[in-house]
Structure 1
Amino acid sequence: MRWEALFADLDAQWEAVEAAELAVEVADRGRREAGFLRLIDRLRPTVGHRMRIDVGGLPSAERGVLVGRLAALGVDWLLVEDQLGGETLVPLRSVLAVRGLRGEAAHPGHEGRVGARLDLRYVLRQVARDRSECRITLTGGRTVNGTVDRVGADFLDVAEHAPGEFRRPRDVEACLVPLAAIAFLRRIA
């Protein structure tokens, strides 16, 4: 009888040690897998949900906070729709903090091969194609108002004109904006 109790006790101790080792291994794997997550993987499940985004590169006098629904997301950009339906395109490098996230994350690489190619330049080419009037807020806080004419590898050519004015050749000034200088871009309706 005592032998049975001894073996039962040893068996219970062995199971407790195995359970503890498994718990440590699971926690370690979870931390390692989190190390592969990118910002877009963390944001992808929140597309369609409301959030608050702190945008950097603006002078301290500017608020630099966007509140709205995450409408779309790419490898290096996100699109936020405000309550009035206005859209703001934000390069991910301008994002300082995001609040209102859900707990889950998408699997890394979930965007697929095509989605991985839809970078900021691709979206800006769409803006140039539809000839939308835009207000581009630069990282220093200054703004450029006009129409995006061309998107290069690392720059925009903007036909700068007064907000709400038609684009007339005599009223337009050519402005080159490096992509790295864009804090965010808003289409003007």
Structure 2
Amino acid sequence: MGEQRWEDLFADLDAQMAMQNRLEADAETADRTRREQALVGWVDRVIGHRTQPLSLVLDGGVIIEGAVRDVGADWLLVRPQSGGEDLVRTAAVLSITGLGRRVGSDVTSRRFGLGSVLRELARDRAPVEVVDRRGGRSAGTIDVVHADALELARHDLTEARRAENVLGRVIIPFDAVSVVRRR
């Protein structure tokens, strides 16, 4: 009977030690996970969910529901469910729903900034609608892209950008832009 007590005692100690080791390993894993998550930016999460439907709330009360197609240094290109393409300035994003835990790689994002993309739109003479951070809308064609602003020739989007159709020009600083819509 005495021998059984020793075996029970040792078995109990072994079980306690194993439980303690499991708890320490779990705590270490949880701590490592928290440290790794602290290094992940929200854009990295967006990159990991490309082509999946997301909902973005932007400055100015703009809500975009669609799939992110491309990511740049300070912008997202979203294909809204309503059609067209929306060039979203990342600084204008207030919240995102639809993201899981997956994280994308920086390799899949483009290094060039918003100004470079806007210059391409200007070169293509693409009609756009610019929505500013307070929700104001300006429609027309980007004529010039400066270091920190775009110059828009305002005209009805159903009309070509011709001198007689231009209603005026407006300069919009990049910092004021929420989204540039191309339909």
Note whether the superposition's TM-score is higher than 0.5.
Answer: yes
Distance (Å, rounded) in 1 between the aligned partners of 2:171 and 2:96: 30
1:176 paired to 2:174: no
Q: Deviations over 1:155-189 (max 9, x none)?
A: 1122222322222235433321100111111113x
Matches within 5 A, 1:147-186: 147-172=141-166, 173-186=168-181
Distance (Å, rounded) in 2 between the aligned partners of 1:83 and 1:99: 15
Matches within 5 A, 1:52-67: 52-58=55-61, 64-67=62-65
Shift, 1:40, TM fit: 1.0
State the one-letter code of the partner of 2:134: G
**TM-score scaled by structure 2?**
0.86
CA contact (8 A) 2:143 2:152 kept: yes
Extract structure 1 runs of 4+ deviating beyond 4 A.
none
Which residue, out of 2, 6, 9, partners 2:9? 6
State the one-letter code of the partner of 1:57: G
Which residue, out of 96, 103, 106, partners 1:105? 103
Which residue, out of 40, 47, 51, partners 1:48? 51
CA contact (8 A) 1:147 1:159 kept: yes
1:46 partner SS: coil
Identity of aligned residues (%): 37
State the one-letter code of the partner of 1:12: A
Aligned alpha-carbon RMSD (Å): 2.0
State the one-letter code of the partner of 2:119: R
CA contact (8 A) 1:87 1:186 kept: yes
**Mean CA deviation greater in 116-125 or 90-99:** 116-125
Structure 1 residue runs without a partner (length 5+): 59-63
Distance (Å, rounded) in 1 between the aligned partners of 2:34 and 2:16: 27
The structure number with the bigger radius of gyration is 2
Shift, 1:154, TM fit: 1.5
Aligned length: 179
Distance (Å, rounded) in 2 between the aligned partners of 1:4 and 1:140: 74
Structure 2 residue runs without a partner (length 5+): none
Q: Match for residue 67 of structure 2?
A: 69
1:132 paired to 2:133: no
1:57 partner SS: helix
CA contact (8 A) 1:40 1:74 kept: no
State the one-letter code of the partner of 1:181: A
1:34 paired to 2:37: yes
CA contact (8 A) 1:40 1:75 kept: no
Distance (Å, rounded) in 1 between the aligned partners of 2:39 and 2:122: 34
Q: Match for residue 76 of structure 2?
A: 78
**TM-score scaled by structure 1?**
0.84
**Mean CA deviation greater in 38-47 or 76-85:** 76-85
